[in-house]
């Protein structure tokens, strides 16, 4: 089983400032890692994912994240935020194996971080 | 890219009635569909996982007779909330996965309000 911890429930930041949203995970097996963004009353949109290869992953809207296996972290960063980045951000993990029946493994989500960009 | 269409986006129903939520994968075949529930200011809680043509697997504490899931085809999955009560009011989100591409595509969610 996996677990995901997002330590910061709310992160206020001024427009054009850099931001880091923290995510730590726990798992006994190798995992895939994801960051999703959710705007009010909408579903989740994938920002980026780490499957393998380079530990620095670039996503949409200028976001990037770095996978650190030794620290079991996958922090999300953006060098300069915009008002439109205000949203809820979720970190998620999935183990790398398929289910015994070939079905997909479920995603385990963190509790979310509300990013509020202030003018 | 992959799109999952979820309907309705909002529904208000009377206590005791049933509500059906549909999720359609528009340009890919969803071999697996996940159904989540989200309370305000909280994370997504997995309710059940369904594979096309098979019975859904429900998470502990989720009543399978209350939350009926049907995944009869590779492009359509439905969640029916039977005999809804005010405590069932929540935001329900589906997520589809195809084995061809390791990714999860989410629907836009359904805000259910039971009065």
Is the pLDDT at A98 greater than 80? The verdict is no
- What is each CA distance from A61 to A36, A48, A114, in whole angstroms? 12, 10, 17
Residue A50 has pLDDT above 90, yes or no: yes
Residue B40: its pLDDT value, please?
Answer: 84
Q: State the pLDDT confidence band at B99, using cuts at 50, 70 and 90.
A: low
Confidence of residue B17 (pLDDT cuts 50, 70, 90): very high
What does DSSP say about strands B10-13 and B110-114: parallel, antiparallel, or unpaired?
parallel
Q: What is the pLDDT of residue B83?
A: 96
Residue in A43, A98, A114 nearest the CB of B109 = A43
Which pLDDT band, with edges at 50, 70 and 90, does B101 fall under? low
User: Looking at chain B from residue 33 to 52, which residues have their Cβ under 8 Å from any Cβ of chain A?
Assistant: 34, 41-44, 46, 49, 51
**Gap between the Cα atoms of A48 and A51, Å rounded:** 10
Size of interface A-B (CB pairs under 8 A): 57
Kindly indicate the confidence band of residue A89, based on its pLDDT and cuts at 50, 70 and 90: very high
CA geometry: angle A54, B99, B105, nearest 5 deg: 80
Query: Looking up tokens 């594979």, which residue turns up?
Result: B51
């Amino acid at each position: 089983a996996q677990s995901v911890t997002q330590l910061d429930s709310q992160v206020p930041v001024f427009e054009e400032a850099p931001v880091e949203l923290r995510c730590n995970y726990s798992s006994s097996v190798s995992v895939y890692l994801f960051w999703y963004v959710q705007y009010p009353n909408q579903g989740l949109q994938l920002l980026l994912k780490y499957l393998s290869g380079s530990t620095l992953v670039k996503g949409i809207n200028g976001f990037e994240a770095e996978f650190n296996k030794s620290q079991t972290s996958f922090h999300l960063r953006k060098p300069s935020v915009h008002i439109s980045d205000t949203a809820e951000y979720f970190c998620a993990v999935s183990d790398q194996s398929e289910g015994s029946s070939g079905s997909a493994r479920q995603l385990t989500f963190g509790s979310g971080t509300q990013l509020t960009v202030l003018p | 890219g992959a799109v999952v269409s979820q309907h309705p986006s909002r529904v208000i129903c009377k206590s005791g009635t049933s509500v059906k939520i549909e999720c359609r994968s528009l340009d890919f075949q969803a071999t697996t569909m996940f159904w989540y529930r989200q309370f305000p200011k909280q994370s997504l809680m997995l309710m059940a996982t369904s594979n096309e043509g098979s019975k859904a697997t429900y998470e502990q504490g989720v009543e399978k007779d209350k939350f009926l899931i049907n995944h009869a085809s590779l492009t359509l999955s439905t969640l029916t909330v039977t005999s809804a009560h005010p405590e069932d009011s929540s935001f329900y989100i589906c997520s589809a996965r195809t084995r061809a591409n390791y990714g999860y595509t989410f629907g836009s969610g359904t805000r259910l309000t039971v009065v």
